[in-house]
Structure 1
Amino acid sequence: MTAPVLAHPPTLADRVVGALRDEIRARRLVPGELYSVQQVAELLGVSRSPAREGLLKLAEAGLVRFTRNRGFRIVLPEPRDVAEIFAVRLALEPAAAARAASRGAVLTLEQLDDATHLGDEASFWEADRALHDAILRAGGNRRAAEIVAGLRATTALLTPPTSAGDRSLAAIRDEHAPVVAAVAAGDAAGAERAMREHLEHTGRLLVARVADRPVEDPAVERIWSEAVN
């Protein structure tokens, strides 16, 4: 089983989501204040329809809360939200990697390698998602793959990827290499361990980012441990 990259160009609503995240991070949209969909449409230079669609995606991730017939408010994500997402992923993905190894799954880093070489972040994250999905499905659990896909979509709305300042694409690619190698070798324990290490590293980085603290800060470790351990 390979991990194909399916390149999907971002929709206008996707671009609205990205722009809104930027506005929230820059505090041009202030948490707690009441805004209208029309204000967002005018701010971003789009019509009401994609503005509302983008806001609904952010609402699903918990970044926006609508008030009936009044508008919406920005709700900043909590570090605990990210830690809980990774707690679920840690319950599913290491075990799936072990099963994939036991079943002789065939995976590849080719798409990650190509995107890393080109410095193409969009293609890299498509390849990353496809590889994780392939591992979950090779482990024999389609529903787990669907759950993780939803969790990853939520994480992407809550915070930028760890390639945005925390790690290079090459470093992230290298964290996947031991997983793929262990699966290829039929080493179930090694695949499980490598996947766990990758997810724990990524999860802690994202918790630290949302908390706006260094990853080695004791507060980050406390949040992580309370959700995951």
Structure 2
Amino acid sequence: MPPTREHAELKLRPLPQAGRSLAEQVISEVRRAVHTGAMVPGRLYSVYQVAEQLNVSRSPVREAMLRLAEAGLVQVERNRGFRVVLPHPREIVEIFGVRLALELPAVRRAAGAGPAGLGAALRETMRRMAAAVEAADEELFFQLDQALHDRVLAAAGNGRARAIVGDLRDTMRILGTSTDDASRTLRQVHEEHEPIVAAVAAGDAGGAVRAMRAHLTNTGLILAGQAARAQGEPVDVAALWAAVVEEPPPS
């Protein structure tokens, strides 16, 4: 659908069209545009506009919009276009509440009865994460971050929990939420994983649970706070966390 006067003006950069799928590239560009202000939440845009500026057909743009809509980042208006919708802090807290419910038992099991070589594999992932920190490669770092959590879930042997957490992390990735901001650096995120890996490698189930809880809680609070600031909402994130997760955040 060609853009009309009701559609907001838009300026995007053409996609390289190499490597990842076009739909993935569209998602990344929409996220970038939201973060830079090129796309403004609440304004109406058309698939035609996006496809034309990214120099791609409308099919990958439609696929990207459907995935973004499933993640809650855009609202599609039939025969009109779509609007960017920022995630509410409660959505983020709910996601981390589910992750805590699934990943704490998983890391306890992995530390207590994980497969041989799990500790060494996690340490190797940590080594690669450290290299990504030095290279300031945020995309690679968070791919490895996800791989580390996934390996723990796989070691616990609950495939359904592993799939659910994977879907939740994909949702967070599509939403574009990243804690690599002034409140926490990539190096600090890496450091938060160190006690988790050390406890799993040592067979310390209690220590692994404590370290994973601290890491997920800190990440969830930061992301929920970012969402609240982005929306300009006076949300008491600590109170929201206590209400949804049913445990107060660490002081």
Q: Do the two structures share a fold, i.e. TM-score over 0.5? A: yes
The structure-2 alpha-carbon separation of the partners of 1:27 and 1:123, relative to structure 1 and needing over 3 Å to count, comes to closer
TM norm structure 1:
0.87
Query: Which residue is equivalent to 2:73?
Result: 63
Matched, 1:11 2:21: yes
Aligned pairs, number: 219
Matched, 1:54 2:64: yes
* Distance in 1 (alpha carbons) for counterparts of 2:235 and 2:52: 42
| Root mean square deviation of aligned Cα | 2.1
Matched, 1:181 2:198: yes
**Is the 1:37–1:71 contact (alpha carbons within 8 Å) kept by the matching residues of 2?**
yes
Structure 2 gaps, min length 5 = 1-18, 247-251
Matched, 1:24 2:41: no
Cα deviation for residue 41 of structure 1 reads 1.6
SS at match of 1:212: helix
Query: Which residue is equivalent to 1:135?
Result: 152
Query: Which residue is equivalent to 1:92?
Result: 102
Residue-by-residue CA offset, 1:59-105 (whole Å, 9 max, x unaligned): 11011122333322322211111111000001011111110011144
**Is the 1:159–1:210 contact (alpha carbons within 8 Å) kept by the matching residues of 2?**
no
Query: Which residue is equivalent to 1:221?
Result: 238
Q: Which piece of structure 1 moves more, 21-30 or 38-47?
A: 21-30
Which 4+ stretches in 1 moved above 4 angstroms?
Answer: none
TM norm structure 2:
0.80
**Is the 1:159–1:206 contact (alpha carbons within 8 Å) kept by the matching residues of 2?**
no
SS at match of 1:85: helix
Q: Which has the larger radius of gyration?
A: 2
Matched, 1:34 2:44: yes
Residue-by-residue CA offset, 1:192-226 (whole Å, 9 max, x unaligned): 1100000000000000111117xxx8712122222
Identity of aligned residues (%): 50
